[in-house]
Amino acid sequence: MNICSVIVSAKPEKSHAISQLLEEMEGIDVFGGVDEGKIIATLEDSGEKALADKMAAINNLKGVINATMIYHQEADIKEMEEEIV
């Protein structure tokens, strides 16, 4: 499983609509920054190509200036389910 965090820079007048579109996309969660036009989101997917496709889809949304990956982790699903002590 691939997990990454991204910052989506958006035109301020479009940021709320873009945030809504992101929330509707499978495997994407929005955590903040909407009012500032710097939307903080995480993307989850099972393959790198699918993750790249999601990044491309975000960058193609009207009103998005750019989407920048901040962090990426590839982990086995069993690792993700293990308790961190």
Rounded average pLDDT over 14-30:
95
- Per-residue pLDDT of 25-77, as tens digits, reads 999 999 999 999 999 999 998 766 788 899 999 999 999 999 999 998 887 66
Give CATH for domain 2-81: 3.30.70.920
Domain segments of the chain as ranges: 2-81
Tell me the pTM.
0.82
Joined together, the tokens standing for residue 30 give 């929005």
Which DSSP string corresponds to 1-60? -EEEEEEEEE-GGGHHHHHHHHHHSTTEEEEE-TTTTEEEEEEEESSHHHHHHHHHHHHT
